[in-house]
Amino acid sequence: MNAFSDLLWGGFGIHEYAEPLHIVWIYSTQSRKALGNKYFDTIISIIENHESNNKYLELYDEHIF
């Protein structure tokens, strides 16, 4: 979980440090069931700790694209 948190800061090759980041989690209800509430909520908490004007999360129960 620490590594995931670090990746959200950026600067590791995927996106630059503090670069805007939009996370779309599709099938989030299925993910919650597969991961269990504890791990799902931990991941959400990590993402929310990084949320700001340039990072945000959207959860969807189905494929929206």
Output 65 or 20, whichever has higher pLDDT.
20
> What pLDDT, on the 0 to 100 scale, is given for residue 35?
96
Tell me, rounded to whole angstroms, the distance of Cα 32 from its chain centroid.
Answer: 13
Please tell me the pTM assigned to this model: 0.72
| DSSP structure string for the chain | -HHHHHHHH--SSSS-TT--EEEEETTHHHHHHHH-HHHHHHHHHHHHHH-BTTEEEEE-SS---
C-alpha–C-alpha distance, residues 65 and 59, integer Å:
13
Task: Give the position of tokens 């090759």.
Answer: 13
